[in-house]
Structure 1
Amino acid sequence: MLDRYGVGSDTAAALLMAAGDNPERMASEASFAALCGVSPAGRGVSRATMNRATAVLTEWDSRVTESPAEALQRQHREELAEARRKLQESRRKCRRLQDQLDAAAIVITTLLAEQAAMQKQEARRTAAVIPLGRSHAIHE
């Protein structure tokens, strides 16, 4: 069956499922088409048979519309979209953390500069020599 043009593994599997476990039920291609519900409708065909054919064709279309490869592609597209969303969220988080780090660096630099200025001011204040009077120096 797979040697036929246009018949792939999905099509062959669906046809074999339609044939069932009794291949002797099909004496010709016409009987196989009738079993699948795709034979041309003749004058003696009932409405029930036509409805069954329509149902079989609808089921066939639903199976053929998304092959396993298409389902896998769809799944990969969904996974890729999720990965992209997570990547964007991670980038936003990294930007926030970088902004916080930059702010902390500015605060630390400012505090260090203020500390150095205060230390210089304190050093000048304690380095001043206060002359003592002679009378005060003799008592010591």
Structure 2
Amino acid sequence: MTQNSLDTEDAVSADTAKELRAAMQRLFAGKPRRTDGRLTKQNLWREAQVSRATMNRAQTILREWDALIAERGKTTVGETRRDAEISRLRKKLADKTQQCTQLQTRLQAAATAIAALHHDNQALRTELANRTGTVVPLIPTPR
């Protein structure tokens, strides 16, 4: 290899450095081609289709990787969207659970009121059936 084909600081070829940087951009953009998209060094070398040893020689690129991870964190765009969706759904679930609890309380109160009214109705029917005598109208009917 000639000196021009190697990155002087990293001991990797310019093509390899280009592939590693392209892989890094794809991973951070959430558009991997060859991996699951997690932001790991293992995915970096696999995405770039180079060996781990080759990636390890690219110290400048690894420092860039570490700086980007420190700046952005290890979550990808897709993971950020997924986490936001999970948070939204958890809040919605909590709201629906609270709503169900309130409705259950109201249902139990209504069932108790209905049971009490049914009992009173039964008692009035029994009392009415046990009465003897004639029914006297309160308002006399005209003759």
Q: Name the TM-score class by shorter chain.
A: 0.3 to 0.5
The structure that is helix-richer by fraction is 1
Q: TM-score normalized by structure 2?
A: 0.47
Compare relative contact order (CA 8 Å, sep 6+) and give the higher one, 1 or 2.
2
